[in-house]
Each structure stands twice: as structure tokens, then as C-alpha cells.
Amino acid sequence: MTLTPEQQAEIDAARKAPRPTLRAVSEGMERHLYTAHEVLDHGLVRVIDYMGDDAAITQAARVSYGRGTRAVSNDEGLIRYLMRHWHSTPFEMCEVKFHVKLPVFVARQWIRHRTANVNEYSARYSILDREFYIPAPEHLAAQSTVNNQGRGELLEGEEAARVLDILRDDAMRAYDHYEDMLSQDGQKGLARELARMNLPANVYTQWYWKVDLHNLFHFLRLRADAHAQHEIRVYAETMCEIARDWVPLAYGAFEDYRLGGVSLSGKAVEVLKRRLAGETVTQETSGMSKGEWREFEGVWE
């Protein structure tokens, strides 16, 4: 269960009571408003509010650049020009506010993106639910031997079952102790702000996360990447689908130039030029480190 009955009733009521407005409306985003998109085992992403659409981006660009944009024949061409040349401020004219429910260890990774406004559920004032992220067996993997931040081979059979049992048992035991410390049965009980420190990092938290489109795209470029950790990537992929419906022209340019594009170092450009000239270039003659060369080959080989 990702939403309580009360939360679902509130969402249903909001969707049944549309309000007239004079501001710009994105029909694609209107379909997402308040709707909870389930992520992981207990998580969710839903849009609470938004401002702007594709037209807001081009409007801002034309105010900013004036006569310099008159040669651009249409909004899509202008948006692609802005994205291609890293002109970011017009994309900042659009904003979105998400309600996100996520494991604490994912939240701590997420919050490193410091260009958003965040208000998180407070375990100082409220009691956290007995909800923990337990990975599906297909996402249990050993440590990678070549990437200190990544996963290697999948755990299988008895080893996978052993790890899952440990994760479940530890989470439940910690929550039992959390409840016990909060108990008011004839005792004062421990303050909530202290009792929470015993909970594991896979317990779920919630927050409102408001961000402009430029910084959302930066977040998605990193977190929707195939190399990102699975548990944050699935949130980013859900938000990609929402952004695609919200600002289809801008998202198309983002998908082409950022998600589907690559950035080359000066050494990488030089290697490509040498190869196009017919020269055989190896890692040893490229001037790149082994790590750089491995990444280069991953794109071009």
C-alpha cells in the first residue's frame, strides 16, 4: 500500500473538482496531477502542482535574446537550439512540485541535488510507518570488482535468500524496538526525535520536492542514466515519463542532447580525429587513463 485511504480520498476529491484558470496549462501534465505513480515496493511519485509549459520556455528566450531569435522558425527549433547550446535560464521558467515517498538511503542520495526546495516528513513530530524497502531478488547483487560505486554479479539461491532474511529481520526488529521505546503504557517513553535514530536506512520517508525544469533535467540526466543506482533510477524514470507529457518539445530536446548524447574530452576528440585519419590508437597511445579509455570504448566500440 503506497497511499493511505485518507490520502487516496483526498486525491480523488481534488481530481473531481477542477478549477478554471487563466494561466498556461499543459494538458499532458493535467493528467498527472495528484495521480500516484507507484515506485519500488512502497514508494510513489505524484505531481502536486506545476507552472509553465513549452511556450513559457520560448517566451522567456525571446524576451531574453530579442532580435537574436527571429531567425528561428518555430518553437521546437528554438528549444532545441537552447538545449544544444546550454542556454539554461529559459528552462528555469517552468517549475514542478512532486510528492515523493522513498527509502531514507535513496533520499540521502537524492538530496545531494541542492537546487530544489524540499520539505520532508518529520519523525521528530510524527511516527514513521512500518514500511521498509526490501529489494526484489533480481536486484540483489555483489559488489562490482571494477566500479566501487556499482554492482556486480547477482546473488542467487541460498545466498540471496539469506540476505533477504537478514534485511527483513533487521528492519522488523528495529521497528519493534522503535515502537517499544515510544510506548506510553505506564511509562514516559523516549522522545520521537531520539527513538527514530534506531531505524534503518531502508525505512520510508516522504517529502515535497519543488524544482525548476533546468535543474530537473540535470537531476534526470544523472539519475535516469543506466549507471545510476537502480533504487533512485526507477524514480527518475517515472519522472521522465511525467516530464515527457508536461513539456514534450523540451523533453524531446533533452532526450536527444542529454540522455542520448555524450560529452567528449579534448583527448577523446583527438583520438576520434586520429582514427578517422586511419591511425590505430590504443589506450597506451591515447593519453587517457584506463578508466577514461574504458568509458570511451563503451561509447565508440
Give me the percent of the chain exceeding a pLDDT of 70: 91
Mean pLDDT of 132-156: 75
Residue 215 is predicted with a pLDDT of 97
pLDDT band per the 50, 70, 90 thresholds, residue 171: very high
Q: Mean of the per-residue pLDDT values for the chain?
A: 89
Give me the percent of the chain exceeding a pLDDT of 90: 65
Residue 239 is predicted with a pLDDT of 98
Alpha helices in the chain (DSSP H): 5-15, 27-30, 54-65, 75-84, 104-110, 157-182, 192-195, 213-223, 230-246, 248-254, 266-276, 283-286, 290-300
Residues 6+ apart with CB under 8 A from 155: 140, 141, 142, 163
Distance CA 211, CA 94 (A): 9
Domain at 1-133+202-261, CATH class = alpha beta
Residue 159 is predicted with a pLDDT of 87
**Taking the model in full, what pTM does it have?**
0.87
183 vs 64, residue with greater confidence? 183
pLDDT band per the 50, 70, 90 thresholds, residue 1: very low
Q: Which of 28-37, 138-147, 159-168, 270-279 has the lowest mean pLDDT?
A: 138-147
Q: Is the pLDDT of residue 65 over 80?
A: no
**Which amino acid, residue 103?**
P
Q: Which residues are catalytic?
A: 223
Q: Is the pLDDT of residue 145 over 70?
A: no
Residue 219 is predicted with a pLDDT of 97
Q: Which of 37-51, 88-102, 170-184 has the lowest mean pLDDT?
A: 170-184
Mean pLDDT of 26-39: 93
Neighbouring C-beta atoms of residue 296, cutoff 10 Å = 21
pLDDT band per the 50, 70, 90 thresholds, residue 274: very high
Mean pLDDT of 13-22: 80
163 vs 154, residue with greater confidence? 163
Residue 254 is predicted with a pLDDT of 96
Strand pairing class (204-212; 95-103): antiparallel
Mean pLDDT of 78-102: 95
